[in-house]
Structure 1
Amino acid sequence: MNADAGTADQAVEQLRLHDGRVLEFAARGPQDGPVVFLQHGMPGSAVPMDTVWGSAVERGYRVITYSRAGYGASTPVPGRPVAGAVEDGRVLLDHLGVRRCLVAGWSAGGPYALATGAADPQRVSGVLLIASFAPYDAKGLEFVAGMGVQNAVLFGAAVQGEQALRTAVLRMGGALRGSGPADLAAAMASLLPAVDSNELTSAYGADNAANVNHGLARGDAGWLGDLHALTSPWGFDPGSVVVPVDLWHGSLDRMVPVAHARWLAEHLPTARPHLRNHHGHLSIGVGSLGDKLDRLITRTSLTRPV
């Protein structure tokens, strides 16, 4: 695990923000390629994942991401709403000279991608959602219905109070840290249909382990922050997103059930849904980011990489 942590540390950079906080980030791909600002899942970090980023970088996109507050070396910000993370992203993109981009969010990263699109439509040309959560207080949506046991427990604990949440995260974090892909697949069995279990025991599993281990290496503040943010008002109306949104979700998803995608498709005015019957939470995204971006970019003023 120490070797993995060292490799991960070398893959990311740090930006000192005006208030003294640290923001950890990474960038891959050609300098002149169309930029994709990627929002990671929960838990996660900025550590690059070839099995996720690779198909986009190979097609000529420049992928930029950062560790949200409390993950990796990024300074925690207790009590931040989803919309509260937008400013960190804006400062990072300004620092890197990015004027126009696509924003992508997988899983818990989806709401943050939408928040960025809502707040900065002059910079964001389109939003890609992969297996994204809908709002916790969404009318007509039973948020945890269809989730596997682990996620149902986490989100149940999030509304039971701080101590219950910390206990649940501590227990699940202990299962994640240092686990090999096969052990992790067994521990997360309630969340994994066969297609996702297969992904977790493939090359993606090693990528995911490095990414998550780095994100949690300094503690659980990022994970706790995400759970608080996802179960509280987001701080913006999803209906205010006016840029094109492509929405992908698998019907077999037990981490974020497909009902979340259906709710988002009905409430995002520019959403183009792509619901896939034979995919789960992982299989819908592994190895296909480039193809999804190629589809989205045709709905924008950006030029598809050659």
Structure 2
Amino acid sequence: MQENMMTLSDGRKLGFWEYGDKQGIPVFLFHGTPGSRTWFLKDDDIANTFGIRFIATDRPGYGLSDQKKHRSVLDWADDIAELADFLKTESFSVLGVSGGGAYAAAVSYRFPERTRLCVLVSSATPFHAGKPPKNMSKENRIAFFLSKHAPWILKKINSSQKKMIDRDPDKYKAALQKGGRHLPEWDNRQLTQEEVLDSTILHLKEAYRQGVEGALYETRLLTENWGFNLSNIQVPVHIWHGEEDTLSPVSEVKKMAGRFSAVTSHYIKGGGHFLTEEEQIWNEILQTILKEAAFK
């Protein structure tokens, strides 16, 4: 595994991994909660074909990136600006998946002059009064509740998951393959694919490299105010979201979309939460980046 790191101005290490065309259109990838910089088992052929340079990152407490105490969602924007400077990249686009959507929005808000395009895939949405929406899956709502009111229980659950991934990954894969009633058919179908399972194991193993504290903190952080108004984002936004997503309900995403000043929404009929694993959708996302974020 490639271990690229830079040292930020406050002394913290930030981990990242590059995919695709190293001379191509720069796009920062922001993983979900939990997640890591390891998005693919091998380099992304589609990104290479389209001339797109992906820079996947570890947020604080994940993978190779040092924890940052009391961090906010908006703090991530400053880390990305430093990484962009380190890579000599003046302007870029951002793509956030699931919990990473909050951070893609934060960078777009904080640095509109540098951000060409904001892509949100299966994105998290702001919570009203700190509470997850009632039409979110019960399992997800419980996790967010525990993150605020009983974090020691959530830590025990996540630590058990980490232990299984580290000691018996095949057992964890078998558990994933069974799917769950809280997931739509789309997502359960994705979890039957060996490549998706192998990628998920690698992704989570890196997410928990330092322990589970990063995921615990960020789960609670997503329940809080993101620290900025979505209506003040001037960067063009593209949303891809499954209509059957149970982890981030499409009804909440449509409310969020209405707050952006310039947005194009792509709602996938029958789609679940795991959209980037579908090659046709991934192609469409990259074609949009190529069209709207290319240097002119």
- Which residue matches 1:213? 205
Equivalents in 1 of 2:138, 2:19: separation in Å?
35
- Which residue matches 1:232? 224
Aligned counterpart for 1:58 among listed residues 35, 49, 55: 49
CA contact (8 A) 2:155 2:213 kept: no
Equivalents in 1 of 2:276, 2:66: separation in Å?
31
CA contact (8 A) 1:11 1:48 kept: no
Q: Alpha carbons of 1:54 and 1:194: their partners in 2 closer, same or farther (altered >3 Å)?
A: farther
CA contact (8 A) 1:145 1:257 kept: no
Equivalents in 2 of 1:176, 1:99: separation in Å?
38
- Which residue matches 1:45? 36
Instruction: Name structure 1 gaps, 5 residues minimum.
Output: 1-9
Equivalents in 1 of 2:134, 2:224: separation in Å?
18
Q: 231-240 or 280-289: which moved more? A: 280-289
Instruction: Name structure 2 gaps, 5 residues minimum.
Output: none
3-state secondary structure, aligned to 1:64: strand
- Which residue matches 1:243? 235
Aligned counterpart for 1:145 among listed residues 116, 130, 134: 134
Equivalents in 2 of 1:38, 1:272: separation in Å?
19
CA contact (8 A) 2:242 2:268 kept: yes
Q: Alpha carbons of 1:204 and 1:105: their partners in 2 closer, same or farther (altered >3 Å)?
A: same
Q: Alpha carbons of 1:132 and 1:173: their partners in 2 closer, same or farther (altered >3 Å)?
A: same
Q: Alpha carbons of 1:57 and 1:153: their partners in 2 closer, same or farther (altered >3 Å)?
A: farther
3-state secondary structure, aligned to 1:262: helix
1:229-254 Cα offsets, whole Å, 9 max, x none, are: 20111111111110110011001111
- Map 1:125-164 to 2 at 5 A: 125-137=116-128, 143-164=132-153
What letter corresponds to residue 142 of structure 2 in structure 1? V
Per chain length, whose mean CA-contact separation is higher, i.e. which structure has more relative contact order (CA < 8 Å, sep 6+)? 1
- Map 1:29-44 to 2 at 5 A: 29-44=20-35
3-state secondary structure, aligned to 2:125: coil
Q: Alpha carbons of 1:239 and 1:185: their partners in 2 closer, same or farther (altered >3 Å)?
A: farther
3-state secondary structure, aligned to 2:149: coil
Q: CA deviation at 1:31?
A: 2.6
Q: Alpha carbons of 1:296 and 1:31: their partners in 2 closer, same or farther (altered >3 Å)?
A: closer
Equivalents in 1 of 2:42, 2:240: separation in Å?
18
What letter corresponds to residue 103 of structure 2 in structure 1? Y
Aligned counterpart for 1:120 among listed residues 111, 115, 125: 111
Q: CA deviation at 1:86?
A: 1.2
Q: Alpha carbons of 1:176 and 1:264: their partners in 2 closer, same or farther (altered >3 Å)?
A: farther
Equivalents in 1 of 2:227, 2:277: separation in Å?
27
- Map 1:61-210 to 2 at 5 A: 61-137=52-128, 143-174=132-163, 178-180=168-170, 181-186=173-178, 188-202=179-193, 203-210=195-202
Equivalents in 1 of 2:129, 2:269: separation in Å?
24
CA contact (8 A) 2:93 2:117 kept: yes
What letter corresponds to residue 24 of structure 2 in structure 1? G
CA contact (8 A) 2:144 2:220 kept: no
- Which residue matches 1:291? 284
Equivalents in 1 of 2:39, 2:277: separation in Å?
15
1:113-154 Cα offsets, whole Å, 9 max, x none, are: 000011111111010000101112379xx7332333331211
Q: CA deviation at 1:292?
A: 1.0
Q: Alpha carbons of 1:257 and 1:208: their partners in 2 closer, same or farther (altered >3 Å)?
A: same
Q: 128-137 or 279-288: which moved more? A: 279-288
Q: 162-171 or 217-226: which moved more? A: 162-171
3-state secondary structure, aligned to 1:225: helix
Aligned counterpart for 1:28 among listed residues 15, 19, 23: 19
Question: Percent same amino acid among aligned pairs?
Answer: 27
Q: CA deviation at 1:46?
A: 0.8
Equivalents in 2 of 1:204, 1:220: separation in Å?
22
Equivalents in 2 of 1:270, 1:138: separation in Å?
26
CA contact (8 A) 2:19 2:54 kept: yes
